[in-house]
Amino acid sequence: MTREEARQKAKELVGRMTLEERAGQLRYDAPAIERLGIPAYNWWGESLHGVARAGMATVFPQAIGMAATFDEELLNKVGDCIATEGRAKYNAYSAHEDRDIYKGLTFWAPNVNIFRDPRWGRGHETYGEDPYLTSRLGVSYVKGLQGEGETMKAAACAKHFAVHSGPEALRHEFNAEATAKDMEETYLPAFEALVEEGQVEAVMGAYNRVNGEPCCGSKTLIQDTLRGKWNFKGHFVSDCWAIRDFHEHHMVTSSAAESAAMALNAGCDLNCGNTYLHVLNAYQQGLITEETITEAAVRLFTTRYLLGLFDANEYDAIPYETVECEAHLALARQAAEESIVLLKNDGILPLDPGKLKTIGVIGPNANSRKALIGNYHGTASRYITVAEGIQNYVKDQARVLCSEGCSLFEDRTESLAYAGDRLAEARIIAEHSDVVVLCMGLDETLEGEEGDTGNSYASGDKLDLQLPKCQRDLMQAVAETGKPVIFCLMAGSAIDLRYASERFNAVLQLWYPGAEGGRSAADVLFGEVSPSGKLPVTFYEDLAQFPEFTDYHMEGRTYRYMEGKAQYPFGFGLTYGKVAVTAAEAAIGARDENGSGIPDVRIRVTVENQGDFDTDDVVQLYIKCRDCEYAPKNPALCAFRRVHVRAKETLETELTVRAKAFTVVKEDGERIRGGSRYDIYAGTMQPDARSSELTGMEPVKVEVIF
């Protein structure tokens, strides 16, 4: 069914409703209209990394982990898998007339906000700090979720529009002030791509204001940009209870009726919350028209028709047995494997279990299920922690000794014990082990959304880049034993890893790797698969020179604008092989092939694995305009491709640098063609001094002159 056909059906159906019924359908928990044969429908669904909050489902790595894969094809498959499980669950629930929250086909994902500041607690819900990477992965996920059949398989939602990345504690009253250049260059490109390329069905507004306007009632964002400039045809939904903030916190209106009118008049069709209970009151006060209410209802029913909710369709036969089936679990394991980033390895990895008698697995996240899942997660039928993954892998080949070592953030694990009550056990296990796998980090209780999971401090945001003191004490205690240590960080954001990097033999970033994460971690530790993830965020040395958290200027933030040296740079990640780009050449396409008057440029690269281990790696292209003042300070990612290279193999692959990469943004926000001279760097990392220092390699530079 085309959108126009669906819209016509929606107009006919809405036209048969009373005004009261139309207004009632603008709630996220839309009631049934029995006389018209319309069942109740709850629009609120979650699927950041698997169908969430609706019972059993495949739990993939958290979004930031999937971003570390740099794998567009994988994100497309994950989206399709989630849609399949969503359909299976919807079919089964509907057959039992269960139309509760989280059980529909409208999923409020992906989160394509830019992870501009490592303190932001919700950053692990995103695809990282780079707008190009976020755009490409977000579009792939949306296309996978929505499908390409006659019927939309599930509806995706780009959130949170726009300029939202903390502080969580202030989000209900905060005004994010962003320059026109930063808006066009950083904060809006991913949303634009999801709308124009991904044809995303929904967009969700953020809690905050942007340059004075509440996002869910912003004429600038919703009417001028989203529906005007980008020609968005889907529906717009508020974040949950965000419209209530208009009069309670932002103080831009004086009543719920005024807030409802402001949002609806701006183009917010659906209210997650209860402020749209006042829509009829606003209508009676003359604040909104019947036509505005009707148009919002038509947009919402257009989505329902596109999803085939009133007609038989090709997805009705998807059985419940597809939920958490073996194929989906295998995909979750693949995603976890590809997401793991090797930050340091002195040669200790991969481990050979045949040469080890005893392995010590220590740390608060070693046997933690919470550390597997991140937030906005589903429920798995089985969770494999890192400790369990190691135990399952080595079986009878080696003894595995385990200790929690410390609490996640408190100074003791037992309330009546002394502080540091598990440190002695950790030392004993380390002393009795040939090698220690030390699992530290955070979980959704320490970094997450304000009010979402009972976060322990700062409304889910981090105060600094340090691990909790109890974990730092444990690191020191284990280091003092002198035993070989592999440090595994399970967290969704940048952490200060100086101590671990200086004192331990290997450092692995596991993120929140999903329900199968422990199995994938073991496969990497023991060399069944080479690590191949790349950092989608910068790991900074510290925050001493970092801008204030509330400052939304991009200057000094992320790899594109930072001044100093990163601890671990964006795009960095080692493998068990030694993959290098040894040659690259450019071919300029026809100037009219993309309709912009600017050519796409194809870069042919030669990739060589000089090591002895078969591995995946990620070829990355970065661009820097040499003769234009408006270009970002540092080279910016403009293309990437995951490749598999066998030991001693040389292969060629081609990447396309899109025409948009050759544009720049002026201070007034106008995007224009850049200069005529560009440097394009081809490698398996960013073209910065720190990446070269860590890898011992340099990217190949190609000059492109128009």
Long-range contacts of 8-13 (CB under 8 A, 24+ apart): 9/301, 9/305, 9/310, 10/297, 10/298, 10/299, 10/300, 10/301, 10/302, 10/304, 10/305, 11/298, 13/38, 13/301
Closest CA to 677 of 706, 634, 656: 706
551 is catalytic: no
If DSSP codes are grouped into helix, strand and coil, which group holds residue 698?
coil
Instruction: Answer yes or no: are the C-beta atoms of 204 and 235 closer than 8 Å.
Output: no
Q: How are strands ordered across the β-sheet holding 636-645? A: 636-645, 615-625, 677-683, 700-705
Task: Specify the amino acid at residue 522.
Answer: A
Going by pLDDT thresholds of 50, 70 and 90, the confidence category of residue 597 is confident
Q: Classify burial at 251, counting beta carbons within 10 Å of its beta carbon; exposed 0-12, middle 13-18, buried 19 or more.
A: exposed
Output the CA–CA distances (angstroms, integers) from residue 600 to 138, 165, 594, 665, in the order listed.
21, 32, 7, 18
Going by pLDDT thresholds of 50, 70 and 90, the confidence category of residue 591 is low
If DSSP codes are grouped into helix, strand and coil, which group holds residue 323?
coil
Outline where 176-278 has alpha helix (H). Answer: 180-182, 189-196, 245-248, 256-266
CATH superfamily of 3-316: Glycoside hydrolase, family 3, N-terminal domain (3.20.20.300)
Query: pLDDT tens-digit profile of 633-676?
Result: 999 999 999 999 999 999 999 999 999 999 999 999 999 998 89
Q: Classify burial at 649, counting beta carbons within 10 Å of its beta carbon; exposed 0-12, middle 13-18, buried 19 or more.
A: middle
Instruction: Answer yes or no: are the C-beta atoms of 252 and 214 closer than 8 Å.
Output: yes
User: Which residues are CB-neighbours of 559 under 8 A, at least 6 positions away?
Assistant: 129, 130, 538, 566, 569, 570, 571, 634, 686, 688
Output the CA–CA distances (angstroms, integers) from residue 435 to 146, 352, 357, 486, 531, in the order listed.
46, 11, 9, 8, 19
Give the C-alpha separation, 692 to 665, whole Å: 29
Q: Hey, how many other C-beta atoms are within 10 angstroms of the C-beta on 651?
A: 13
- Assess if CATH 2.60.120.10 describes domain 579-705: no
Q: Hey, how many other C-beta atoms are within 10 angstroms of the C-beta on 453?
A: 17
Of the listed 239, 245, 600, 616, which one is catalytic?
239
Instruction: Answer yes or no: are the C-beta atoms of 334 and 74 closer than 8 Å.
Output: yes
Kind and range of the H or E element at 682? strand 677-683
Interior/surface letters 551-566, b for 16+ CB within 10 angstroms, e for the rest:
ebebeebbbbbbeeeb
What's the rounded mean pLDDT across residues 530-553?
96
In terms of phi and psi (left: phi > 0; alpha: psi -120 to 50; beta: otherwise), the region of 485 is: beta
Closest CA to 517 of 441, 631, 465: 441
Closest CA to 508 of 693, 351, 697: 351
Residues of the chain with CATH 3.40.50.1700: 330-537
| Bridge partners, 147 (sequence order) | none
Considering the chain, what is the average pLDDT of its residues? 96
DSSP string, 519-530: HHHHHHHTTSS-
What's the rounded mean pLDDT across residues 174-187?
98
Give the C-alpha separation, 363 to 604, whole Å: 45
Angle between helices 386-394 and 517-525 (to 10 degrees): 50
Q: Is residue 614 scored above 50 in pLDDT?
A: yes
Residues of the chain with CATH 2.60.40.10: 579-705
What's the rounded mean pLDDT across residues 534-553?
95
Output the CA–CA distances (angstroms, integers) from residue 522 to 212, 220, 351, 387, 609, in the order listed.
50, 49, 10, 9, 24
For 100, the token pair is 């509760």
What's the rounded mean pLDDT across residues 680-696?
98
DSSP string, 97-122: T---TT-SSB----B------TT-TT
Q: Is residue 454 scored above 50 in pLDDT?
A: no
Task: Give me the numbers of helices (H) and strands (E) for the chain, helices first please.
Answer: 20, 23
User: What length is written for the chain?
Assistant: 706
Residues of the chain with CATH 3.20.20.300: 3-316
Query: pLDDT tens-digit profile of 76-86?
Result: 999 999 999 99
The more confidently predicted of residues 590 and 155 is: 155
Q: Is residue 445 scored above 70 in pLDDT?
A: yes
Q: Write a three-state SS string for 361-380.
A: EECCCCCCCHHHHCCCCCEC
Instruction: Answer yes or no: are the C-beta atoms of 330 and 337 closer than 8 Å.
Output: no
Instruction: Answer yes or no: are the C-beta atoms of 374 and 532 closer than 8 Å.
Output: no
Going by pLDDT thresholds of 50, 70 and 90, the confidence category of residue 452 is low
Q: Classify burial at 327, counting beta carbons within 10 Å of its beta carbon; exposed 0-12, middle 13-18, buried 19 or more.
A: exposed
The more confidently predicted of residues 593 and 303 is: 303
User: For position 456, what pLDDT does the model report?
Assistant: 47
Q: Is residue 192 scored above 90 in pLDDT?
A: yes
For 550, the token pair is 């509330």
Instruction: Answer yes or no: are the C-beta atoms of 17 and 36 closer than 8 Å.
Output: yes
Rounded to 5 degrees, what angle do the CA atoms 10, 13, 19 make? 105
Q: How are strands ordered across the β-sheet holding 175-176? A: 175-176, 209-210, 213-214
What's the rounded mean pLDDT across residues 335-341?
98
Give the C-alpha separation, 142 to 139, whole Å: 5
What's the rounded mean pLDDT across residues 184-191?
98
Q: Is residue 493 scored above 80 in pLDDT?
A: yes
Instruction: Answer yes or no: are the C-beta atoms of 46 and 55 closer than 8 Å.
Output: no
Closest CA to 436 of 378, 385, 390: 390
Angle between helices 423-431 and 469-479 (to 10 degrees): 30
Going by pLDDT thresholds of 50, 70 and 90, the confidence category of residue 459 is confident
Instruction: Answer yes or no: are the C-beta atoms of 82 and 47 closer than 8 Å.
Output: yes
pTM over 0.85: yes
Q: Write a three-state SS string for 384-403.
A: CCHHHHHHHHHCCCCEEEEE
Q: Hey, how many other C-beta atoms are within 10 angstroms of the C-beta on 267?
A: 25
Going by pLDDT thresholds of 50, 70 and 90, the confidence category of residue 598 is confident
Closest CA to 41 of 2, 79, 13: 13
Q: State the Cα torsion 582-587-593-598 to the nearest 10°.
A: 90
- Assess if CATH 3.40.50.1700 describes domain 330-537: yes
Instruction: Answer yes or no: are the C-beta atoms of 508 and 344 closer than 8 Å.
Output: no
